Amino acid sequence: MESRKFSHGGVWTTRSATVNHVFTRAVILPATPLLVPGAAGAADPLRDVRLAACAALAGLAASGPPMVLAPGPHGFRGPAVLRPTFAAAGIADAALPADVTAPWAVERELAGTASSVLLFCLGMALGEDAARVPVLEIPATAAVVGRESPQRAAGDDAEPGSRAASLHAAAGVVGRHLAGGGTLVAAAGGTPGPAAVAPADPGAPHPGIAELLALAAPGLTAATRPFPQEHDHLPAEYALATLG
């Protein structure tokens, strides 16, 4: 496995040194509904990625309560308990196996597609406990800032309403969650959708999430496990990353 680390400004840099993680603080998953059974009909092209992801999520939850970080359609939102759905990706919830959607039988505000991928994977790993996992969504486009921001972090001297203020506020939420023993499940870069476009580095988080992590937990180092693909209509590689 390659090891990587966040540098100042949220840049995802590669390091050649082998890192011995004390315990996992975060797992980064590809934000594609293809991780979830039923999203591609009878086909299941990312079964191996899903099995590895669910094993990693089960281990993550044993280290501390998780919180989801993902790009969403409403700018900055949360932390809030949301119900996953793939409706925005053109996939009916009824197409998914009943045991995948079962933890979210109660009506709630709907999560974005990327958040929904992570929530459904948590559901497969944790069962009903996944329905209590909070979600923090950020603007889907890294350069766009939502008008609504979470509670500002203590000591944040950025101008209220500015991009810096929103990022620092969200980073404060993430930092407090980690300081309290919590863990993170984050979306990898790429475009959320049925066949998410993989970024140049498939193990790297969404750019906005990388910025948050650089502010909230700059010492985290990642180990990335690649999953090469041979399907004609999929990216050449997906990846699963763990941060510690």
What CATH number did the domain enclosing 185 receive? 3.40.830
Tell me how far apart the alpha carbons of residues 30 and 195 are, in angstroms, rounded to a whole number: 10
Give me the phi and psi of 38, to 5 degrees please: 95, -20
Tell me if 136 sits within 8 A of 173, measured CB to CB. Answer: yes
Q: Which residue segment(s) compose the domain that 208 sits in?
A: 2-243
The count of domains in the chain is 1
pLDDT in tens, the chain (244 residues): 444 444 434 434 433 333 333 478 999 999 899 999 989 888 888 999 999 999 999 999 999 999 999 999 888 899 999 999 999 999 998 999 998 999 988 788 999 999 999 999 999 999 999 999 999 999 876 543 333 344 433 333 444 457 778 888 999 999 999 999 999 999 997 544 444 454 556 678 888 888 899 999 888 888 889 998 887 778 888 888 988 8
- Give the pLDDT of residue 82: 95
Residue from 130, 122, 86 nearest 104 by CA = 130
- Give the pLDDT of residue 196: 47
Residues 6+ apart with CB under 8 A from 183: 24, 25, 26, 27, 60, 61, 63, 64, 65, 66, 67
Maximum Cα interatomic distance, the chain, rounded to a whole number of Å: 52
How large is the C-alpha radius of gyration of the chain? 17
Q: 53: burial class by Cβ within 10 Å (0-12, 13-18, 19+)? A: buried
Q: How is residue 41 written in tokens?
A: 């009909």
